[in-house]
Structure 1
Amino acid sequence: MSLSIILPAKNEASALAVLLPCLKAAQPTAEIIVVDDGSTDNTAAICADCGVSRLPSPYSMGNGAAVKRGARVATREVLVFMDGDGQHDPGDIARMLEKLDQGYDMVVGARDWGSQAGIGRGVANTLYNWLASRMTGHMVADLTSGFRAVRADKFREFLHMLPNGFSYPTTSTMAFFRSAYPVAYIPIKAAQRVGSSHIRPLRDGLRFLLIIFKIGTLYSPLKLFAPVSALFFLLGCANYAWTYMHEGRLTNMSTLMWSAAVVVFLIGLVSEQITVLTYKARI
């Protein structure tokens, strides 16, 4: 399969100086594209020295934006996305392509617990994986991994849905599941990144919490909203039972909880219809 390797990079020159020669040795016939997301270091010189294509940007647009830009200019039938910080092993690409050749449309490198960037990130990713597995009915081993191989034509169907930030892996994975494109996982070891991370807990914490809701809204909103609606309804019933036995009346709190149950359910229903229409355009 003809292969394009896309590396979003922002001020990762020190890592690229080591990674790019290894990539060229591991995949000598591949098209390698470094999407320079507004770097201020010598990324351009490193790419020139290594003889790889560089797609520059006058300012930083975000990791997801770099992925989309790279996917648009890539010319091969299979796209491999990997971080430019040296965490991913170029030797794993061959394993991904072997799995892709078995009939899958996306193959994701699944990190083990030891490869997680801290306990907090590990716990969050475990929660994401569990929720995504429950929503899709398929085992999701690593929802947020940025190391993945995809068929270019399938991936480009969802470019309009991908955010410009760090949650593009979540969006693309759930979109593939929703569209019945087979997804597989292979275990990988992620090395310690070179340099400091561009993710800031205080700045990006809310964005990662929003991934939870994105999981539901991208696949089947009612599977997320219906249990919440049922919870509000049951809490309203429990509150009514308690106040009736002790005070012999219906309180405003019970009515409020029942109203919340109806509102949440209707939001889920409307979201379900919007999701259906979103994917219908891609059929």
Structure 2
Amino acid sequence: MSRLSIILPAKNEAAALKNLLPRLTAAQPGAEIIVVDDGSTDDTKAVCADSGVTCLSSPYSMGNGAAIKRGARAAIGDILVFMDGDGQHDPADIERLVARLEEGYDMVIGARDWESQAGVGRGLANTLYNWLASRMTGHVVADLTSGFRVTRAHRFREFLHLLPNGFSYPTTSTMAFFRSAYGVAYEPIKAAERIGKSHIKPLKDGIRFLLIIFKIATLYSPLKLFAPVSLAFIGLGFVNYAFTYVASGRLTNGSTLMWSAGVIVFLIGLVSEQITSLTYRRDE
């Protein structure tokens, strides 16, 4: 029977962990539980010690993704369970996600419904990410950014070098699994309201979330993003040429610049496609 390792990144989540860790231990008594303390200044270490779980502490905050990578390296289980340390995820759902994994998948992600989204803005952003990722991969992506997921350890560790140190590790890992033709499934979950204050900053992280859109493309197939943009520039160039030809009977610099931009964008996409292919290449 496969052993579970449950990994929880936590930064000043002592209040949530006091309630969560006993529930985790009761729900999965045989599992290895690792709390990765990302430079907390509260009593996270003491809470972990009282609950008898492993606590890996960082001397300063390195980011959510960095905590995930550290936990994945230290875990000894065959199956890794990633959960948020803020109390949003229900330990009782682990059994359902693991059961789906045993059906032959390599990763099972807990998919939140609309009521479980942290506000209308986050819900709309996640809907956009899911739609774009679905278009890029050709598969239905129900929740691209969910931090509650179960995966086979050896598969997940293949992509540790790709994972960022920040909050977008779920996006990166999901797209990497699709790109490598590893089976991904979704299991509906309900996420509770987090305990304590969120570490997400609307302005700073809003810009970061916009960059996720480009990461979705570059992690899977850059040409699927760059080719339509290139065609749009070329099309605008012809429209501008038709207008200026009718109006003044000549070709303007504007049309030439648009055509040039279209060619440049296509070439950037072509080079990005080759780089992406090399990124996923492994020596067997």
**Into which bin does the TM-score normalised by the smaller protein fall?**
over 0.9
Q: Matched residues in 1 for 2:252 and 2:264: separation?
A: 19
Q: Secondary structure at the match of 1:199?
A: coil
- Counterpart in the other structure of 1:95: 96
Q: Matched residues in 1 for 2:100 and 2:258: separation?
A: 49
1:281 to partner: Cα distance? 2.2
Q: Secondary structure at the match of 2:188?
A: strand
Q: Secondary structure at the match of 1:150?
A: strand
1:282 to partner: Cα distance? 6.0
1:150 to partner: Cα distance? 0.4
What is the one-letter code of the residue matched to 2:238? Answer: C
What is the one-letter code of the residue matched to 1:280? Answer: R
1:203 to partner: Cα distance? 1.4
TM-score by length of 1: 0.99
Q: Matched residues in 1 for 2:124 and 2:267: separation?
A: 31
TM-score by length of 2: 0.99
- Counterpart in the other structure of 1:70: 71
1:247 to partner: Cα distance? 1.2
Deviation larger for 198-207 or 57-66? 198-207
**Contact 1:10 1:36 (C-alpha < 8 Å) held by counterparts:** yes
Q: Secondary structure at the match of 1:161?
A: coil
Mapping of 1:2-17 within 5 angstroms?
2-17=3-18
Q: Secondary structure at the match of 1:6?
A: strand
Q: Matched residues in 2 for 1:105 and 1:258: separation?
A: 44
Q: Secondary structure at the match of 2:115?
A: helix
Q: CA RMSD in A?
A: 0.7
What is the one-letter code of the residue matched to 1:96? Answer: L
- Counterpart in the other structure of 1:111: 112
Q: Once superposed, which parts of structure 1, at least 4 consecutive aligned residues long, lie more than 6 Å away? A: none
In the alignment, is residue 264 of structure 1 matched against residue 265 of structure 2? yes
- Counterpart in the other structure of 2:215: 214
**Contact 1:174 1:219 (C-alpha < 8 Å) held by counterparts:** yes
In the alignment, is residue 58 of structure 1 matched against residue 59 of structure 2? yes
- Counterpart in the other structure of 2:253: 252
Q: Matched residues in 2 for 1:206 and 1:41: separation?
A: 29
Would the alpha carbon gap of residues 86 and 282 (structure 1) be closer, same or farther in structure 2, given more than 3 Å must change? farther
- Per-residue CA deviation, residues 126-166 of structure 1 (Å, 9 max, x unaligned), is 00000000000000000000000000000000000000000
Q: Secondary structure at the match of 1:58?
A: coil
In the alignment, is residue 27 of structure 1 matched against residue 25 of structure 2? no
What is the one-letter code of the residue matched to 1:107? Answer: V
**Contact 1:157 1:282 (C-alpha < 8 Å) held by counterparts:** no
**Contact 1:6 1:82 (C-alpha < 8 Å) held by counterparts:** yes
In the alignment, is residue 146 of structure 1 matched against residue 137 of structure 2? no
Q: Matched residues in 2 for 1:252 and 1:120: separation?
A: 41
Q: Secondary structure at the match of 2:161?
A: helix
1:205 to partner: Cα distance? 1.2
Q: Matched residues in 1 for 2:236 and 2:46: separation?
A: 62
